[in-house]
Structures are given as C-alpha cells and as structure tokens.
Structure 1
Amino acid sequence: MTRHCLVTGANRGLGLEFVRQLLARGDRVVATARRPAQAHDLNRLSGEHPGRLHVLPLDVADPRSHAELARELPLADEHGLDLLVHNAGVMASGERFGTVAARDLDSAFRTNAAGPFLLTQALAARLAPGAKVAAIGSSLGAMSATARFGTPSYAISKAALNMAVVQLAHALRERGIAVYALNPGWVRTAMGGERAPLLPQDSVAAMLRTLDRLALSDSGGFFQYDGERLGW
C-alpha cells in the first residue's frame, strides 16, 4: 500500500536518504528544505519520480513557514499524511563552557524542539488516522547517558524534543496517531562527520524497519535506530 509521507530537512544527509528509501518503497513523498532551489539532489530525484515527489519550502524554526506549508500541502498531495519525519536539525560547533551563546541555544531550541512540536500541531489536521510521526532525536539528549560536558545547545534541545514527543503522543493518541523519538546513531553526515561508523543508508533502513514494527502502544517512546528502547 502506498503511503503518503513528509520529510523535513530533506536536502541532504539523513533527510535525503529517507526520501530515497521511501520512494524506493513506492511511497509518495513531500520533501521540505529551507531553499528548495539549491536542493539539487532533491530536485534531481523529483525529475526521476514525477508525481511522487514534491519539494516544498520550509523553515522549521519559523511558525509562519509552518502555516504556509499547511496551506500548500493539499495542493501537493490531497491525501492525509501516513508518515511525518522530523529530520531537520542544527548543531552549533565549538561550544565551550563560559562562552555558550544565547543565540545558539535559542536557534537549537527553535529548530530541534519547538519546530517539530509546532509543525506537528500545524499539520495535525493533515495526519491520517493511524499515522506515525518520527522525530529524529539523539542519545546526546538522553540525561541518563550524559557523562561529560559537550554540545550543550544541541543536547539541551534534543532533551526538550523528547518531552515534545511525549506531549504529542498524548495529544494524538485518541486519533490512533503514534509519535516516536528515534536515535539514528552516529552517522557519517555533515553533522556526524567522517569518523562516524554508520552510513546514512544503513541508519535510515534500520529506522524504517523499526517504524514498521512499532505500534500505538509504543507511542511516546525513545528508540535506537534498531528498535532498542532507550532511557531518557
């Protein structure tokens, strides 16, 4: 059965790989990027999959952009969404205690935590009964796994994302819509760096298999890419 999916931050890395693999499954995809004209790989895929991939603009940190996407989405795909993947994220580099900038904390929170929460709220009417919402989290946001000071803006915002997932799970449960936080692992992307052991295609393939297995009873949970339940 063809699913109707939306992936944020789809111009590169994990987001782009989600788009590739969902298309390979036969699904229809709306892929978002802040600057679609510069998303060359996405636009190439769109040409290869006419009618099944639509590329739309979205700034996850801007609620006005959420509202515009909600207005445009029915024009790109009149069906409700079966899968919403919150992949867009930011990480400030080189943060040191004593010099962490308020603007970096604010940017990380607006993009990594408030963005997925508010976008899900804005698109709630477009989510089909039984849909799944996947927020790409991080083990760096797990307080139980934190053993040192590092990447504070990113870590704090990903911890907040975990609570956003729990809140959304409660809000959407009555409609049979499940919400999960997924840790993709340490992946070889622009954010993860060249030393990362996981390739994007392997991480995404595992996350999609995990999403296939997860049920409504798992909603509000935090899971490793391979399906292992993680602690907060």
Structure 2
Amino acid sequence: MPKPPPRRSLVTGANRGLGLEFVHQLLARGDHVIAACRHPGRASALNQLAGQHPGRLHVLPLDVADEKSRTAFAHELPLVTEGIDLLINNAGVLHSGERWGSVSAANLEDSLRTNAMGPFLLTQALTAQLVDGATVANVSSMMSSLSGDPDFNAPSYRISKTALNMATLMLARALAPRGIAVVALCPGWVLTDMGGSGAEISATDSVSALLQVVDAVGPDRSGQFLDRFGATMPW
C-alpha cells in the first residue's frame, strides 16, 4: 500500500511560544510546514529549523492583522505548496496591565484585529488553497468563555477571543460543504511569554495534546470549542 503524502501544515505566529512548538512537533511528525510570522529575519529559531529541514519548512512573512500582508501571503503561498491540509491560526496578542477605566481603544482594536479578524479573514483569503477535508484550528482561550464569571483581567484579550469563537462557528458553517472542519482550541494555561511564569503546563505538553485532538477532528466536530483533551468547552 503506497505511503500517503506528507500533510501540509500552516502555522501563524510561528516564531515563538505555542506557534514555534507547533512547528517543531509537526516537523517531527513528517509534515511539510509553512511557518508564518511578522518578521522572518528576526526569527532565528525558525530559520535554524529551516536549515535543518531543507524543503520541508518554509518561513514566510505575515501580519495577520494587516490586509495587505494577508493578501501578499495568499499570493505567495502557492509558490511553496499546492494546498493546505491543516491551518493553525495561532498568532495572537495580549495587552497586559489593563484596568477598568483605562482600557484604551488602541489596545482593544489591536486585539480584535489580531485575535479575531486576522484568523477569520486569513482563512477566508486562503479558502481556495485549503484542500477538501482540511482542518482549521483556531487557538482560543479558556478566558473567552461567557459561561464563567470573568474578572476584569485582560479584557481586550477576552473580548477578542470570544469573537474568535463566533468566527469559528461561522467558518465551520461556510466550509462544511467541502468537508473542512473548523474548531476553536483551548490550549490551557501554558508556560510561554504570553502565559507567564505562573502557568500550569509546558508548551511541549500542550501542543502534543492539541495535535492529538486535531488528528481526531472530523466534520462531526466542526464548529466546536475543545480543550486539549478533546472535551467540549462551554461557550
């Protein structure tokens, strides 16, 4: 029986944290990986990996919050791959130190552009390059749930990730006729620059668990919000 071709995976925000760990583990699994980040020239870890995996890792510039950047990326992508089997919308921003009465419009707008609009509009821009039966994984957060009792911690981040969950539902409906599954994923509280030193799990453990969830996702789970164990999260 012929060996199936390697999966073609695209990771945004791939220069550090969860994004970089996704790239590491996808390469280890044999995928061909496109790693997107705002400043490839400064992404030393990614460039080192590209040297170690010639032909299997391509590092491309992308600012998910910028329309011109998304358009340029969509035009450049066919030069390095003929399709995308897995899109991981990981790029995100968290503005720390926000307090009631001093949340700035700039921070809120930046969060919405990066965390919600970016994944939604990038997926839309790449629709023709997503293969039938592909998977789109939007990295969300436990802080997005409306079912909890949120405090006033990181309001711009919370609001934007809740908007990402709605974007996930709408993308799932739009792409369902092609068998493309779209899910929102909660990685847990992860030890990254964004998660901080008090976090509970390593990026390695989080990504390993999330990839098992992604592997098991089919059209029947499209539109769901899942934790790293594959359980359904409350909206």
The residue aligned with 1:118 is: 121
The residue aligned with 1:206 is: 209
Task: Say whether residues 1:84 and 2:90 are aligned partners.
Answer: no
Partner of residue 197 from structure 2, selected from 161, 176, 194: 194
The residue aligned with 2:152 is: 149
Contact 1:5 1:83 in 2 (8 A): yes
Contact 1:46 1:53 in 2 (8 A): yes
What 5-or-longer segments of structure 2 have no aligned partner?
none
In the alignment of these two chains, the number of paired residues is: 231
**CA displacement 1:10-56 (0-9 Å, x = unmatched):** 00000000000000000000000100000000000000000000000
Q: How does 1:126-137 map to 2 (within 5 A)?
A: 126-137=129-140
Task: Say whether residues 1:138 and 2:141 are aligned partners.
Answer: yes
Contact 2:37 2:63 in 1 (8 A): yes
Tell me the SS of whatever aligns to 1:145.
coil
Tell me the SS of whatever aligns to 1:143.
coil
Q: How does 1:2-81 map to 2 (within 5 A)?
A: 2-77=6-81, 79-81=82-84
Shift in Å, 1:76:
1.2
The residue aligned with 2:108 is: 105
Q: For residues 104 and 151 of structure 1, what CA distance do their matches in structure 2 show?
A: 10
Contact 1:130 1:177 in 2 (8 A): yes
Tell me the SS of whatever aligns to 2:74.
helix
Q: Which runs of 4+ in 1 moved over 3 A?
A: none
Contact 1:16 1:42 in 2 (8 A): yes
What's the TM-score, normalizing by structure 2?
0.97
What's the TM-score, normalizing by structure 1?
0.98
RMSD: 0.7
One-letter amino acid matched to 1:11 = N
Counting aligned pairs with the same residue, the percent is 57
Q: For residues 226 and 168 of structure 1, what CA distance do their matches in structure 2 show?
A: 23
Shift in Å, 1:154:
0.1
Q: For residues 36 and 220 of structure 1, what CA distance do their matches in structure 2 show?
A: 32
Q: For residues 58 and 67 of structure 1, what CA distance do their matches in structure 2 show?
A: 9
Shift in Å, 1:195:
1.4
**CA displacement 1:49-100 (0-9 Å, x = unmatched):** 00000000000100111110111101111x2100000000001110000000
Shift in Å, 1:146:
3.1
Contact 2:143 2:150 in 1 (8 A): no
Tell me the SS of whatever aligns to 1:90.
coil
Contact 1:81 1:127 in 2 (8 A): yes
